[in-house]
Amino acid sequence: MFQKITLLILLVSVVSCQKKESVEKDKIKIADWLIGNWENTSPDGVLTENWQKLNDSTFSAASYFIKGKDTLHFENIVLAQKGETLTYLATVKGQNDDKSVAFPSTAESDKQLVFENPKHDYPQKITYTKGPNNTLTAEISGKLDGKVSSEKFVMTKK
């Protein structure tokens, strides 16, 4: 009897651990539509985001804005799933002592991802929306110098 109970407990433990692991890896799958190379060309310059899948729980991106031959903005992004939470980690050289700033997700769907960090100076909110015809809209918003501000960038998949 004792052996049967021990075997049952062991079996339940193994099955529950496997299920938890697959749930952890399943949440980031909702963001698969980010994967690829995205670009927005405007008179001000070219904004590019290149997203790739690193593993079952982590995506990474390089985001940069180039005007002529000058790189005006460069950012490394990591989208990671830990447990039940997706977190957007942004690292901008020369800001925040070159450390990443975390934006936990507040909403996820197969068409939109929303990340927020109310303690960050600007932006406090980052939204990615999947659009028609291979488009992606990235929006940053929040309070900047005490005023509500937002910027939208519509990018096309290359």
Over residues 128-145, the pLDDT tens digits come to 999 999 999 999 999 999
CATH no. for 2-157: 2.40.128.20
Give percent of the chain above pLDDT 90: 80
Q: For 74-120, write each residue's pLDDT tens digit.
A: 999 999 999 999 999 999 988 999 999 999 999 999 999 999 999 99
Q: Concatenate the DSSP letters of all residues of the chain into one string.
A: -HHHHHHHHHHHHHHHHHHHHHHHHHHHHTTGGG-EEEEEEETTEEEEEEEEEEETTEEEEEEEEEETTEEEEEEEEEEEEETTEEEEEEEETTSGGG--EEEEEEEE-SSEEEEE-TTSSS-SEEEEEEETTTEEEEEEEEEETTEEEEEEEEEEE-
- Domain ranges (residues) in the chain: 2-157
pLDDT exceeds 80 at position 5:
no
